[in-house]
Every structure is written in structure tokens, then in C-alpha cells.
Amino acid sequence: MGWTVGHRAILRERTVEDHCLIGILATVMDGAVLESNVMLGAGSLVPAGKVLEGGYVWMGTPAKWVPPLTDQELEFLTYSAERSASLKDRHRELT
């Protein structure tokens, strides 16, 4: 479970499901939904209320889908989310 968020991304009142990767400087506006296994490109904008279907890379302003994710890319989303959660837990233990 979990997701990976790039530096300086802005996440407003939104829903992000498991194994998503949100790129650096991406913006997700109010009421937007990122379904499981979404990869959102750096600098992309998800408008208010938009639903991003899982299993795709989304890029642009506004975000539009590009070809489906490969099996290898889907595996990376799971790895990245689990690694981020592990680092969070480790940091919590050290503070």
C-alpha cells in the first residue's frame, strides 16, 4: 500500500489509491481521483474532479493518458510505494 510523491508536488483535497507515483511539481486539484497504479508525469496538472484511470501514465496540462503501463512499470510502482513507506518508518524510528 501507499504511493510515491515527487518533490514540490501539490496535492489538494483529492483521493490517491495504492501504488501511484506522482511526479515532481505535479498538481492534483480538489476532488480529483487517481486510481491504483497511476503514474503522473512531472509538472502535470490534474483538474478538479478528474478521475485518472489506473494502469496508465498521465502527462500534461491538463493530464492526458499515454499508452498503458508495462508489467515492469507496474512492478516498479509497487516497489516504489513499499520503499517510500519503509523509509518513512525508518525515519520515524530515528526521531
The domain that contains 51 carries what CATH number?
2.160.10.10
Query: What is the SS3 assignment for 27?
Result: strand
CA 24 → CA 16, 89, 94, 95, distances in Å? 16, 22, 26, 26
Q: What's the CA dihedral at 47, 49, 50, 51 to 10 degrees?
A: 140
User: Could you list the residue range(s) of the whole structural domain that residue 85 is in?
Assistant: 3-94
Given a cut of 80, whether residue 76 has pLDDT beyond it is yes
Mean pLDDT lowest among 12-16, 22-26, 90-94? 90-94
Number of domains in the chain: 1
pTM of the predicted protein model: 0.81
